[in-house]
Amino acid sequence: MIVCTAGHIDHGKTALVRALTGIDADRLAEEKARGITIDLGFAYQDQADGRVLGFVDVPGHERFVHNMLAGVSGLDFALLVVACDDGVMPQTIEHLHILDLLGLSRGLVALTKADLADQARLAEVEAQVRALLAATALADAPIVAVSARTGQGVDTVATHLALASAGTVREQGGLFRLAVDRSFTLAGAGVVVTGTAFSGRVAVGDRLWLSPMGREVRVRSLHAQNRKADQGFAGQRLALNLAAAQLGKDDIARGEWVLDAGLHHPVDRFDAHFRLLNSEPRALAHWTPVHLHLAAAHVPARIALLDGDSLAPGRDGLVQLVLDRPIGALAGDRFILRDQSARRTIGGGRVLDLFPPARGRRTPMRLDILAAAQSCRPEQVLAQQLDRAPGWVDLDRLRLQWNAPELAVPDMIAAGRFAFRPATWQALRAGLVEVLGAYHQDHADQPGLQAPRLKSAVDPKMAADLFGCVVAAAIADGVLDQDGPWLRLPGHQARLSPADERVWDEARPLLGGDHRFRPPRVRDLAEDLDVPEAEMRGVMKRVARMGRVVLVAQDHYFLRETMAEMAAIAADCAQQAKDGWLIAARFRDRLDNGRKVAILILEYFDRVGLTIRKGDLRKVRADRLTLFGPGDGRESSPVGRTDFKSGNGRSPAVGGFDSHSLPPS
């Protein structure tokens, strides 16, 4: 268990910690010289059951509240100190507000300097404190009169702490993260950071990330609750000896996180639930400048009100905090806001969403999502968001922001990074099937729809990555088939109209045989078949969409099997070369075609990734050889075989696909 002190300056917080532990938590020379706590101090006490109590001693001066705030997040127990001679003072009130806003509900009040007060004064101060606690989560906290000088009540406080420690159970789930409140170097060891572990566990040798810095480090060694250990857990004070190239203590500032790589997601804005203190003199206006304190981080920010133009003192509401620089945060994290001058605590709240929109942040749908997030349980948040429109959730985002890697709920379907209710999932699939079915019926000659057009027909507003997950799952489950870029229903085969089929039956032989490497142009086909050129172009475009031919250049089509054969020839030419490089001349000779044609075909191969060009040379990618199907030389012509050489490879073929018939450059 980790205990934090709280209270006004000179009320005896450090003295009480010393009386309980025997350790002086003031570590700075200036603190010892001035007799006041300036920065965080730390002490530890062994318990009879083997547990170790950790103490974070905080400064009480109003000028050092920012240091106090760096030490009180993520702790288990509050030790509020009120001196009997002074009674309740300004920082007593402010510190108590901070503890309450951070959700600390376990604590004890120590009435210090009890040896300087009579019974009447003790009763008066106790009444003041009890009235102050009444409206907070510490309303039922025990109050103990103590004196660090005489030892009065110290054992009673120690007993309360021991009982509280025995009843402290911290969840160890989630990925590891630690809020850095101190960084220093040790001779022979290097950089050491200390802080409170908020979640998960860490072990020597683990690789973690500094966030928001974004730098990987390795845990060389560690101490947990001031003891050398192999592992550390959530709820412990840890000291991590970090290793990384050229890493110094000045590279790691207070407010940095050391965390699992899966949690590295710096944010410069987040949506939150916020409560304005009742003690504020006026309502909070939209876009008020504030100082944000979250864990050990401190950053200027602006507060955007989401459900009104102002927030009255004592009221709570939904807000968006827009930060001057990115910090690390997760949903559920508590934070404190201070005024623009950083002299007064004005309220606090809890992070709800790390992925808020900059625009449309006040829409009813957004406010519904944030209302669901206030349940504070990720399972409830997931279930409620699934039951709201649009019926799906970005599961990866939700798991990240709640640090719940295995987050799931009953009656949920997960696909990729998204989660759906079964009814929503089935409706999306039915939409895919309905749209494709109608398209196949109206466009029987088409192989299907490409993903962007299918998405537009199913739901134009659906995010592309979400649609991709739905389609990928539908393909995996056999609901859809994919052929290259085309999506279709299983069993669908594109077919030409009877008229188109008749034209194609006559055109196909002209594209194959001995002339397959230099097929006629579209206008030549139209002339040979006595078909209007426009009609011939339409037929060839439809045949190309069906995958039977490939358009290599304007008006020039090759049979798909010819493309596969030419790909195999290119690979064979490269393989026969001593250096493994393909040259255009060798490829030209094998095709018995002109150089310009060979170059144009090779440039097409470059575009589709079959070849990689370097100057006049090319490498053939073996992993792309099946791009056009098997190149098994299904044509009977000897053209293209390794033993074929006609001797007229540079001669143009009249009306064929050669240099004279290329489109204008």
Q: Which of 166, 197, 218 is the last residue of a domain?
A: 166
Whole-number Cα distances in Å, 147 to 11, 95, 238: 11, 21, 31
Considering the domain architecture, whether residues 288 and 409 belong to the same structural domain is answered as no
| pLDDT digits 0-9 by tens, 574-583 | 999 989 999 9
Residues 257 and 285 in one domain: no
- 151, 299: one domain: no
- 519 Cβ neighbours under 8 A, 6+ residues apart: 510, 511, 556, 557, 558, 559, 562, 656, 657
Task: Tell whether 282 and 357 lie within a shared domain.
Answer: yes
Q: How far is CA 188 from CA 181, 194, 336, 431, 504, in A?
A: 22, 18, 38, 65, 81
The separation between CA 536 and the C-alpha centre of its own chain, rounded to angstroms, equals 52
With respect to residue 500, please indicate whether it lies within any of the assigned structural domains. Answer: no
Single out the residue in 495, 526, 545 at which a domain terminates. Answer: 495
Query: Containing domain of residue 118, as a range?
Result: 2-166
- pTM listed for this prediction: 0.76
CA geometry: angle 181, 184, 188, nearest 5 deg: 145
Could you tell me which residues come within 8 angstroms of residue 319 by beta carbon, excluding any fewer than 6 positions away?
271, 272, 273, 274, 303, 304, 305, 306, 311, 349
Say if residue 199 is in the same domain as residue 157.
no
Query: Sign (positive/negative) of CA torsion 401, 402, 406, 408?
Result: negative
CATH of the domain at 44: 3.40.50.300
What's the confidence (pLDDT) of residue 28? Answer: 65
Out of 371, 389, 422, a domain closes at: 371
* pLDDT in the model for residue 33: 64
Q: Quick one: pLDDT at residue 246?
A: 85
Instruction: Based on the fold, state whether residues 77 and 189 are members of the same structural domain.
Output: no
> Is residue 75 in a domain?
yes
Q: Has residue 171 been placed in a domain?
A: no
> From CA 468, how far away is CA 472, in angstroms rounded?
6
* Same domain flag for 613 and 536: yes
pLDDT block averages, 10 residues each, the chain of length 665? 91 92 78 71 88 88 82 89 94 93 94 95 96 95 96 95 86 91 87 94 96 95 93 93 88 94 96 96 96 95 94 96 97 95 94 90 85 83 86 92 92 92 94 96 87 93 92 94 89 87 94 91 93 94 86 88 93 91 93 87 91 92 81 40 38 33 33
Judgement on whether residues 319 and 443 belong to the same structural domain of the protein: no
Whether residues 31 and 162 share a domain: the answer is yes
- Beta strand pairing call for 284-285 and 310-311: antiparallel
Query: Do 294 and 205 share a domain, yes or no?
Result: no
361 and 420 part of one domain: no
Q: Per the structure block, which two tokens stand in for 382? A: 């997931």
- 139 assigned to some structural domain: yes
Give the CATH number of the domain where residue 182 resides: 2.40.30.10
608 domain residue, yes or no: yes
Residue 661, pLDDT score: 32
Domain count of the fold of the chain? 5
Helix, strand, coil % over all residues of the chain, rounded to 5? 35, 25, 40
Residue 80 domain-assigned (yes or no): yes
